[in-house]
Chains A and B, each alone.
Chain A
Amino acid sequence: MGFTRFVEVGRVCLVNYGPDNGKLGTIIDIVDGNKCLVDGPRTHRPRATSDALQATRPNRHHGQDPEEREAENAQSGVGEGGCSRAMGSHGLGQKLAAKKKRANLTDFQRFQLMVARKQRAALVKEKLDAIKDGTLVPSVPEKKAKTAPPPAEEPEPEPEPAAAADY
């Protein structure tokens, strides 16, 4: 699947830097190749900035929320419930939350996380080897097998937020 999250009018985006860093908004207008007008009334983004045409570069933006897609008015699209809620369950939102959580780990917690990841990797490898040997049928819904990539690939357990959730 190719790149789908284009900068386009109506796209919900996340402001990456500047005074509005970390806030959600909606692209209202594309000024030129580098700038666009972003507004987000409900996400406490001051209107003045957008009125003053201080555009932010949405170089990382949020995928369109199907709930919001219908909403013609871009501003109403960034409703209190819709986007913020979607952000929590969305890939990017989870990624950001996990990143934040990771950044706040203490040294001891980082060590515990490292050990937990090793243990998980060992479990994945065990199952994977079993599948390779033919002793385990891959279709068996194993609890840990969920994180295992398809048997043909090398096991590459990604740092998943769920594992970090304990810390």
Chain B
Amino acid sequence: MVAGKRTKGEARAPRFYPAYDIKPKAKAAPANPPKMRASLTPGTIVIVLAGRFRGKRCVMLKALGESGLIVVSGPYSVNGVPIRRVNPAYVIATSTKVDVSSVDASKFDDEYFSNNKNTKKTEKKAAAADDEEEFFATEKEEEPKVSEKRKVDQAAVDDQLLPIVEQTPMLKEYLAALFTLTKGMKPHELKW
């Protein structure tokens, strides 16, 4: 190469060089796909242990391969648990299972549940900056609204799930009942 001349498309040589060698960053090992407990299969009745719905028994619909979470549904009409993602670590898998192969849960992936949470914050900020009075007024938290889309999807799944649940006598009542530990119950010794 002639000094000062570059052929077209040739990269310009850097003017400065680092004083010492910079080691190239090691490539992060590809994340292993999450492993699901053998006891957690679609249709398993699970007991949610943490969060808003702790103590509720609900039906597992599917496992999410990407996040490692599971999708459960109460069904909503039975015990008020909507279709939602749950961390399987906070769930007891029971040996009771229903056949949910006929329930179409294909649309419920991680993307479906991800909320664009940023919009809420920016909206709030904007609203607060708008008006001083509003700023000093006691902040009213907006009630989280369930979107119509979610409602429709919930109803669609419930319509499929309810008849399956009702096939087993007392299963509906079982799902509606809260799980609690009572005197003398040792969870590590119990059979689920």
Write out the residue numbers on chain A whose beta carbons fall within 8 Å of the beta carbon of B171. 108
Write out the residue numbers on chain B whose beta carbons fall within 8 Å of the beta carbon of A73. none
- In the complex, are the beta carbons of B192 and A111 less than 8 A apart? no
Asked, given contacts A106-B95, A107-B96, whether A115 binds B173 with beta carbons under 8 Å apart, the answer is yes
Judge if B94 is at the interface, Cβ distance under 8 Å. yes
Number of A-B contacts (CB under 8 A): 32
CB distance from B39 to the nearest CB of A (A): 12
| Identity of the chain B residue whose Cβ is nearest the Cβ of A108 in the assembled complex | B96
Write out the residue numbers on chain B whose beta carbons fall within 8 Å of the beta carbon of A107. 45, 47, 92, 94-96, 179, 190, 192
Q: How long is the Cα–Cα vector from A105 to B185 in the complex, in angstroms?
A: 12
Report the interface size for chain B: residues with CB under 8 A from the other chain: 16
- In the complex, are the beta carbons of B191 and A108 less than 8 A apart? no
Judge if A104 is at the interface, Cβ distance under 8 Å. yes
Judge if B152 is at the interface, Cβ distance under 8 Å. no
Write out the residue numbers on chain A whose beta carbons fall within 8 Å of the beta carbon of B92. 107
Judge if B1 is at the interface, Cβ distance under 8 Å. no
- In the complex, are the beta carbons of A106 and B192 less than 8 A apart? yes
Interface 0/1 of A91-122, CB less than 8 Å to B:
00000000000011111100110010000000
CB distance from A105 to the nearest CB of B (A): 7
CB distance from A13 to the nearest CB of B (A): 25
- In the complex, are the beta carbons of B177 and A108 less than 8 A apart? no
CB distance from B4 to the nearest CB of A (A): 80
Write out the residue numbers on chain B whose beta carbons fall within 8 Å of the beta carbon of A104. 191
Write out the residue numbers on chain B whose beta carbons fall within 8 Å of the beta carbon of A105. 191
Judge if B174 is at the interface, Cβ distance under 8 Å. yes
CB distance from B97 to the nearest CB of A (A): 10
Write out the residue numbers on chain A whose beta carbons fall within 8 Å of the beta carbon of B11. none
- In the complex, are the beta carbons of B191 and A103 less than 8 A apart? yes
24 residue pairs of the A-B complex, CB under 8 angstroms, read: A103-B189, A103-B191, A105-B191, A106-B94, A106-B192, A107-B45, A107-B47, A107-B92, A107-B94, A107-B95, A107-B96, A107-B179, A107-B190, A108-B45, A108-B94, A108-B96, A108-B171, A111-B170, A111-B173, A111-B174, A111-B177, A112-B170, A112-B174, A115-B173
In the A-B complex, the 10 residue pairs with the smallest Cβ-Cβ separation, listed nearest first, are A108-B96, A107-B94, A111-B174, A106-B95, A107-B192, A108-B174, A106-B191, A112-B170, A104-B191, A106-B192
Q: Please give the residue numbers on chain A whose beta carbons come within 8 Å of chain B beta carbons, in ascending order.
A: 103-108, 111-112, 115
